[in-house]
Structure 1
């Protein structure tokens, strides 16, 4: 039998799946630096680092108040005998797991399972990948890192104040000290929407208002009218929100407004914070104060969160107070890269070239000396390289970002 000669010439794309990305060494260095700054800041304020699985039970994900993210869930088919395809079967019945679309739902499950072993109140943070099946575009990915910080078990405004100040401190250390904090309260927002006569579709209206900074006032008008809201009520709603921006919290006669004013006063002693009555936040599980940190450089928020006191009732009867915030990690990275940010205190990158085995020990001693001085040292072989081409080798290493290139003689 004649065997075919040659190899399979089929070519595969080198591109990662849409909405994902490869991380090159220099970018990885920056990402690790940003993580370290956030991590050290949070730990210094008494927060505990945790980790939850990227996979979650699909029932938890689909029965959450995750807003429009529910349409963006990556669902995972059952395996083996559990996967029995049949005519007329609902595709959702063939899935039992999903990739997490945020870190808050996994944290709630984590706390409900482990609460007897955790501090009370529990101050936690985690950084990890989340997944959303949305249309990829600049600054939006299908796989990206979120950085969350939460306090569970504290129903006082001290929790909001601590979260906001801690996140603002971390962002300030990363060069975002001029960012603005916007704050509102879902309970005040409900009062406004109910006054307009739209209380039965509160969450629907919130989903549209949440897009105000993306599609503008006209876009929100068109979307609400398309959902069946009369143009008259839409006009009244948007006008009311605009007027409240001018009048401020003093126009509300409620305990919620007073608490919001206290948060603004406490945080405002150190950071730029303002009341924004049109702020919504897309997640339906928010129950009280909601907030965002906005960077004019990016033209959007770089962090956001709020209070979600009822989320843990999915796992137990009692309601446990909770408040949290997430930093837009990928947005932070992109802004820093656009700025040409250089990691402070970073040592030199040194290449040590060795052409003979007998010189290796000397090269290792030299490398160790650089390392002890806080630099990065790598040893490379130039065995067999023509002496006349050593200069080309040195130039190549310089182009690769090495500050010093040393040939051990």
Structure 2
């Protein structure tokens, strides 16, 4: 007996309805990306392994899917790596390529390779699949669509202001009102590490701090202690674990804590600039919030960092995030190329819109009208009408077989097609069609022009 087929954990098949809903989200993103001046690009699904490794921190590197070299790859390994079962060395020898982990590092590689062809500042958007060897759970998949927008070649904080507005515009158009755009600055985090004497443990410090919402204060403290950060140092920053009040009150708390750190104060002034501009410009439906413990565990962020939370009451991880990366292209040989970018989590946005019932009816629309097939002559009559309706943008099709009418009607019902058309000798003699509404059962004999008017509503 043949084994039942399956797909890898963390991947999915999509039904026609799910694809239609995803396309609705993607079309809103594309429209707003282009309204804000971003241009589309695409990059390969896999990159050279050395392009990706070392760019995401230790935790990120472990989640990169590596592709085995073709041919007899084991014969090309060194005896020492094979004998000692050294995973890291062995992986480097048997895997020269890897599936992309995100779109930002490939974008940095793209900018370096095409720098002489690009006009800077260069603003791009990209919507492609990425892969992560993560533990699957609700809203977290091993294969998922990432939708990014980046701007490189400018140090101006106007770019960050623009990205806040872009988030607000997209989520407002999706009717996902009340999202929270959380912001922090890596310079602030560097300043905090500096004033507590833990600059040499900045990565460990930020990775632990970023988990505050997941593991709580006690969990963060335990992880920091495990990484060698002293209890005395942790006591100095306990106030930020419980920071509350307005954005200005939180900035005042930071100014007091970081008054001896030049780097930290610079980060405060950068984020204060962004908040001031947004206060003057206003947002449609989103809320902008300073989150002092937000760290985003990626090494390449150097300035502002973003994370978007779903509206209150919806249990979901972040539905967007990003930040500024002043030196990302430097790892590929292009210095002094500042950039900032954000990402939209389409899969999580989908789940939130579904939970809240926010998908518009038109996002689910498939075939609007099905012509029933009563035989060769009738089918030809219907096919002409189908072609004419399609020319007018109406989704129409003919049932392919002259099956029993009950079977054809059931097919339309199961596909949730709103109308069916019956056309036999009587209708053909009058150059007319009998249009039947599937839910109400109401039917009328009408001409083609009236049919178009009815279906185009």
SS class of match (1:354): coil
Aligned to 1:322: 339
Aligned to 1:4: none
Aligned to 1:233: 233
Matches of 1:260 and 1:197, distance apart in 2:
24
Aligned to 2:45: 54
Residue pairs, 1:6-405, within 5 angstroms: 9-11=1-3, 13-66=4-57, 68-80=59-71, 83-84=74-75, 87-89=79-81, 90-92=89-91, 93-243=93-243, 247-251=249-253, 252=255, 254-268=265-279, 269-271=281-283, 272-295=287-310, 296=312, 297-343=314-360, 345=362, 349-372=368-391, 374-383=393-402, 385-386=403-404, 390-405=405-420
Q: Residues 336, 372 of structure 1: CA spacing in aligned structure 2 closer, same or farther, 3 A cutoff?
A: farther
Residue 26 of structure 1: CA displacement? 0.7
Residue 110 of structure 1: CA displacement? 0.3
Residue 81 of structure 1: CA displacement? 5.7
Aligned to 2:447: none
Residue 330 of structure 1: CA displacement? 0.6
Instruction: Quote the RMSD (CA, aligned, Å).
Output: 2.1
Residue 369 of structure 1: CA displacement? 4.7
Residue 101 of structure 1: CA displacement? 0.5
1:44-94 CA-partner distances (Å, limit 9, x unpaired):
111001001110110111121445211111111112265525544232221
Aligned residues of 2:175 and 2:358 also touching (Cα < 8 A): no
Residue 250 of structure 1: CA displacement? 3.3
Point out where structure 2 has 5 or more consecutive residues left out of the alignment: 82-88, 260-264, 425-457
Q: Rg bigger for which structure? A: 2
Residue 284 of structure 1: CA displacement? 1.0
What TM-score, normalized to structure 2?
0.81
Point out where structure 1 has 5 or more consecutive residues left out of the alignment: 1-8
What TM-score, normalized to structure 1?
0.90
SS class of match (2:75): coil
1:293-337 CA-partner distances (Å, limit 9, x unpaired):
111324432111110011110112522100000011110111122
SS class of match (1:106): helix
1:259-312 CA-partner distances (Å, limit 9, x unpaired):
211201222432221211111111111001111111132443211111001111
